[in-house]
């Protein structure tokens, strides 16, 4: 007998791309956690100025070069991952459970509950998310916390819709009615019968979304509405660096590649998980 886990592991071995993605994700997470030890110039994460080394192109000492005030870009990218991952944890930590609960409720209870939740979701989905997040952060003061609030306020709708779709399919299965006939409560059915069947979709979606939250946050700060200097943030670094194009190209391109690396990692891992768990997340 092969267990689910063994089968998943076997599929993983046939899926080197997912393994690469996983390694990329792990490297980003480890770099963020151990930033003070990993970064070559940990002090450059703050408001340090070193005019002797400003605009230095990538070399053996500064692998990604230095910025307009002489700080090591690699060190700032590594510290930037801290900000990005904090954002991911904050947004998905709230939006995912919220969306899952509403989605399951709408799919399971149907009727008026479904109508209210799903029409609200429709309205929220009609707002271009970046535009809304921009508006919200602008009305509040731009900083990491407010960016997190703005993104979370929009992000739950996608999880809600996904889980609603998954749940709607599950409730038509006979085992839900069978559970009800054998005396199971609504809580039991939601948590024990339905939720386990949503886990595959949830884990794939969370992984893919981690990448997109990073992208989203970086875009906000690129437009000047996210994390404020001197906190090292990847989007801010790109937008500052863009002033020195094309001659000091590395100042914009290197942090850009840093964002790309993290998003790519989460995306490859998420795609691999999707193939492995065989879920459709639309």
Q: How far is the CB of 127 from another protein (least distance, A)?
A: 5
Q: Phi and psi of 72, rounded to 5°?
A: -70, 120
Q: Rule CB under 8 A: is residue 174 a binding residue for another protein?
A: yes
| Residue among 107 and 129 whose Cβ is closer to another protein | 129
- By CB under 8 A, tell whether 191 contacts another protein: no
- Residues recorded for the chain: 282
Residues in 14-33 that interact with another protein by CB under 8 A? 14
- 54: number of CA atoms within 13 Å, CB side? 9
Looking up tokens 């989905």, which residue turns up?
A: 125
Question: Who contacts 237 (Cβ-Cβ below 8 Å, separation ≥6)?
Answer: 67, 73, 76, 77, 80, 251, 252, 255
Q: What HEC string does 239-272 produce?
A: HHHHHHCCCCCHHHHHHHHHHHHHHHHHHHHHHH
Residues 209-238 within binding reach of another protein (CB under 8 A): 211, 215, 218-219, 222-225, 235, 238
Task: Verify binding: residue 48, another protein, rule CB under 8 A.
Answer: no
* Residue 31 phi, psi (nearest 5): -60, -40
Query: Of 31-39, 82-90, 109-117, 122-130, which segment contacts another protein by CB under 8 A?
Result: 122-130
Q: Can you give the binding site for another protein, defined by CB under 8 A?
A: 1, 4, 14, 119-120, 122-132, 134-136, 138-140, 173-175, 177-179, 181-184, 188, 192-193, 196-197, 199, 211, 215, 218-219, 222-225, 235, 238-239, 242, 245-246, 249, 252-253, 256-257, 259-260, 263-264, 267-268
């Amino acid at each position: 007998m092969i267990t689910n886990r063994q089968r998943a592991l076997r599929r993983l071995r046939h899926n080197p791309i997912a393994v690469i993605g996983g390694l990329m994700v792990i490297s980003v997470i480890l770099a963020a956690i151990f930033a003070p030890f990993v970064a070559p110039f940990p002090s450059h994460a703050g408001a340090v100025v070193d005019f002797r080394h400003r605009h230095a192109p990538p070399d053996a000492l500064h692998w990604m070069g230095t910025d307009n005030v002489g700080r090591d870009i690699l060190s700032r990218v590594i510290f930037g991952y801290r900000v990005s991952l904090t954002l991911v944890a904050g947004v998905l930590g709230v939006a995912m459970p919220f969306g899952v609960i509403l989605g399951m409720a709408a799919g399971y209870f149907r009727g008026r509950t479904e109508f209210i939740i799903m029409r609200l979701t429709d309205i929220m989905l009609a707002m271009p998310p970046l535009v809304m997040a921009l508006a919200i952060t602008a009305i509040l003061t731009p900083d990491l916390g407010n960016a997190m609030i703005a993104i979370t306020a929009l992000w739950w709708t996608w999880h809600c819709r996904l889980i609603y779709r998954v749940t709607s399919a599950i409730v038509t299965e006979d085992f839900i009615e069978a559970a009800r006939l054998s005396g199971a409560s609504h809580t039991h059915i939601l948590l024990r019968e339905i939720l386990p069947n949503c886990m595959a979709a949830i884990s794939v979606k969370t992984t893919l979304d981690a990448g997109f939250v990073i992208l989203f946050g970086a875009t906000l700060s690129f437009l000047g509405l996210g994390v404020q200097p001197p906190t090292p943030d990847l989007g801010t670094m790109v937008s500052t660096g863009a002033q020195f194009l094309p001659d000091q190209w590395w100042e914009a391109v290197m942090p850009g590649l840093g964002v790309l690396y993290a998003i790519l990692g989460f995306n490859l891992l998420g795609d691999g998980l999707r193939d492995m768990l065989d879920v459709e997340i639309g």
